[in-house]
Structure 1
Amino acid sequence: MSKDIRIKKGLNINLVGAAEQTTSTAVLSNVYAIHLNDFHGLTPKMLIKEGAEVKAGEPLFYNKNKEEMKFVSPVSGELVEINRGARRRILNLKILADKEQAQLTHQPLNVEKASKEDIKAYLLEGGCWPFIKQRPYDIIANPDANPKAIFISGYTTAPLAAQADYVLQGKESELQAAIHALAKLTPGKVHVSVGEASNSPLAGLSGIELHKVSGPHPAGLVGTQINKIDPINKGETVWTVAPQDLIIIGEFLLTGKFNPERLVALAGSSVKTPKYYKTKIGAEISTFLYASGVNEDNFRVINGDVLTGLKSRPDGHLGFYNNTVSVIPEGDDYEFFGWNKPVFDKISATRALTFSWLQPNKKYDLTTNTNGEHRAFVVTGMYEKVFPMDIYPLQLLKACMVNDIDEMEQLGLYEVAPEDFSLTEFVCVSKQPHQKIIREGLDLLYKEIG
């Protein structure tokens, strides 16, 4: 029996260039990279030196604060480069892949007979633990914590994002193995959310609490679902896992092999033939970007969806958690008096000189232009119209800006992650960096309270 969740507040951003549900295999990448900024707050300690040979699934480094937490190589090859920044902080690792891949294989784990500690140790050693994240703080889960529940969102509402229903097809056995393992890690429930009219493989799994979700973005964000199902209070912890990461965890449990394969949605109005590509974590984006072709010279590659992704280069590398690459026109042109005339080709949450509300299903070809500069943080009431959580978004943002820890706690910072404020950032007339503000607030809270 499912429990329905209907979200009314929000805003769907319909963009041109959604990926067609056809899949091609990307050209094999010569170099794979792991970027340390994907693991927020992590202090890495290297296990091997530059120039060493590694197998796929072999540990490269570990978490200094939790030494049993290993991070493994996506492919076999030579560790050719360790890039460092200020104070010799590791920025990224680059691996030159072998033509013939060699795989490190573990003994498959019998989940039915395994204990909670056995499962934790197996995932930590095999490099699968980083796929489990926790709230509060939106960081890799602390294996010593006892989460009250685990949440998985199989409902996709972010603009141009990879559709979970499509990428999970045919992976029922891996998904079920992962669910059985995760269920042993919490005394609570494993909450799984799918679309109201979904045909997701997640809906047929056993050992889950199923929720059917409907409504505009951010209904598909796991933070919105946590808020509606089982909100987080001070002192409580919940874990979250992305659907495609469940497949990697499940396959590792069944076969003992770490297979970081991804179905990536290459989407956006600048792509000639947007579709899905089968590739691996850390692969060069150019290996599938130019296979689909681009419509123009002046475009931006976004590693992720257009609201939460990071700017990248065509020769950049797929992020550890990303399954979407968005390519849209670069917004470096400006309209004369663009703020003072009717607008028909942009989407807006207001009705002031804009007409997108008359055509809710129209698709737009938007650029990266913010249509304004950073300005005073004013009260408009816009955030509350697109923010469905039982939280005051403006007050929470301002509490983070002034580092008021008591106010942050009382206003619900424990419940949120930066992505939960991506839509308020999109509609913000003050052009404030909401996600950055929330990230800095979470970091302060973690530092002071932990």
Structure 2
Amino acid sequence: GITPKLVAKEGAEVKAGDTLFYSKSDARILFPSPVSGIVKEVIRGARRKVLAVKIAADATQSYKDFGTKNADEMLAEEVKDHLLASGCWPFVKQRPYDVVANPNQAPKAIFISAHASAPLAADLAYTLAGKEAELQAAITAVSKLTEGLVHVSVGANSSSPLANLKGIAVHKVSGPHPSGNVGTQIAHIDPINKGEVVWVLAPQDLLVIGELLLTGKLNLTRTVALTGSQFSAPQYVTAVSGAAIADVTANNLKDDNTRIISGNVLSGKEVKMAEFLGYYDNQITAIPEGDDYEFFGWNKPIFNKISTSRALTFSWLSPNKKYDLNTNTNGEHRAFVVTGSYEEVFPLDIYPMQLLKAFMYKDLDEMEALGGYEVAPEDFALTEFVCVSKQPHQKIIREGLDLMREELG
């Protein structure tokens, strides 16, 4: 939801925390450099749209000093101003629309999901271990931005470092994905009605805010999980937000025929080796590229593929079998058919098929009435996975939400 206006020019020296660009719609929303170094290149696309800013990082990092703060003594406006000035505001996302939060609105509650249920997701109990002081400082600060509660969801059986913090309402979550999606938790705990706003933060972003308050430095280093069958050694690595994929995955990928995804397989973004780790991601997934085609593959019984229905495959005979899934959709894009399969995997009390169709033909009244304010693209990741019509559900939802935001505000 951001149109960038560039501040840093090519050849400029920057420190970690210096502003690279800001939002055209609100000049207070700054995006900082994750490293110190020299701006090597600004890559632009059609109509001079800024696509990327490349920075050659220094061997020894130098940080812009934002000053240490005591979260207990800060007022709500001071917290907001500090997050805006330091470039941490983009970590605060809002529902409806799933975009960077509007600082002029007050949220009725803040939600943090510390239960990662997505496929092969990084274990937050491991990546956040020993960081209780930073997490508490961040929670204390952001809790002043709302008159409502700060809802933190943790795994029912996990030893999450967030579970014992002060100033939060803790919820125990269990069950299969998408139980860890923050949209699912909002729907069950405090659903969004028209005119209401909820803010969302991710646990690894809370660490950045907490460290900023305690040390005065903007440290965008995070623990990243390298997952998927195409990694020779799946492991945790330390990387800076925006790091080149080629550096993070160096000497670890099996062969060329690989799809690299920044994020998880269901809702992540496909990236090339020359591209970078996503701003909100702490996972890189590598799976085989499914560009092989079977002769008469649709016309014979199949024993080595997974299927949510019983059509042609026998995966239901061995429900605990594990599969090395690739990117092949096993079918082509075709018209929507009513199968009832979406409702089986969709977590919200909404009609997914009807909402998708309303988003496709851009009927704003229906989009509102069917629950458009409550959804984000990631909520439709599983319906896209089981879709027999091979429709791009998340793309449809993203485009529809952008239209709603534009037209309805």
Q: Does 1:52 align with 2:29?
A: no
2:241 is aligned with 1:294: no
TM-score, scaled to structure 2 = 0.98
- Select the residue among 256, 265, 271 that pairs with 2:231: 271
How far did residue 394 of structure 1 move? Answer: 0.2
Measured after TM superposition, the shift of residue 354 of structure 1 is 2.6
Specify the alignment match of 1:421 in structure 2. 380
How far is 1:177 from its partner?
Answer: 0.8
Percent identity between the two aligned chains: 63
CA distance in 1, matches of 2:174, 2:90: 29
User: Match for residue 282 of structure 2?
Assistant: 323
3-state SS of paired residue (1:339): helix
Give the structure 2 partner of residue 285 of structure 1. 245
Q: Count the aligned residue pairs.
A: 409
Counterpart of 1:101 in structure 2 is: 61
Unmatched runs of 5 consecutive residues or more in structure 1: 1-40
Structure 2 counterparts to residues 363-382 of structure 1, below 5 A? 363-382=322-341
Q: Give the alignment of 1:201-280 within 5 angstroms.
A: 201-280=161-240
Q: 2:61 corresponds to which letter in structure 1?
A: Q
Aligned-partner residue type, residue 180 of structure 1: T
What secondary structure is seen at the aligned counterpart in 2 of 1:166?
helix
What is the one-letter code of the residue matched to 1:264?
Answer: V
Matched, 1:347 2:302: no
Q: Which amino acid aligns with 2:273?
A: P
Say which of 416, 422, 435 aligns to 2:394. 435
Question: Which stretch of structure 1 is more off in the superposition, 331-340 or 212-221?
Answer: 331-340
* Deviations 1:149-185 (CA, angstroms, capped at 9, x unpaired): 1111111111122122221111111111111111100
Distance in 1 between the 2:323 and 2:124 partners? 23
Q: CA RMSD in A?
A: 1.2
What is the alpha-carbon distance in structure 2 between the residues aligned to residue 201 and residue 340 of structure 1? 51
State the 1:295 CA deviation.
2.5
Structure 1 counterpart SS, 2:405? helix
> What letter matches 2:207 in structure 1?
I
Which residue identity does 1:132 align to in structure 2? V
Residue 352 of structure 1 deviates from its aligned partner by 2.4
How big is each residue's C-alpha offset from its partner over 1:10-57, in whole Å with a ceiling of 9 and x where there is no partner?
xxxxxxxxxxxxxxxxxxxxxxxxxxxxxxx21222222211100011
- Provide the C-alpha distance between the structure 2 equivalents of 1:357 and 1:165, rounded to a whole number of angstroms: 33
Q: How far 1:360 sits from its partner (Å)? A: 3.5
Shift of 1:337: 2.2
Task: Please say if 1:335 is aligned against 2:275.
Answer: no
Q: CA deviation at 1:294?
A: 2.3
Letter in 1 for 2:341: M
Aligned twin of 2:43: 83
Query: Which of 339, 349, 358 is 1:390 aligned to?
Result: 349
Tell me how far 1:341 sits from its aligned partner: 2.6
For residue 325 of structure 1, report the CA deviation from its aligned partner.
0.6
1:134 aligns with 2:94: yes
Deviation at 1:297, TM superposition (A): 2.8
The CA distance in 1 between the partners of 2:191 and 2:51, in whole Å, is 35
Write out the 4+ residue segments of structure 1 that deviate beyond 4 Å after TM superposition: none
1:405 paired with 2:381, answer no
Structure 1: which amino acid aligns with 2:189? I
Q: Deviations over 1:418-446 (max 9, x none)?
A: 11101100000000000010011101111
The SS at the match of 1:444 is helix
* Alignment of 1:445 onto 2:409: no
Q: 1:304-354 CA deviation, whole Å, 9 max, x = no partner?
A: 111111111123211111111111111110112222333332222212233
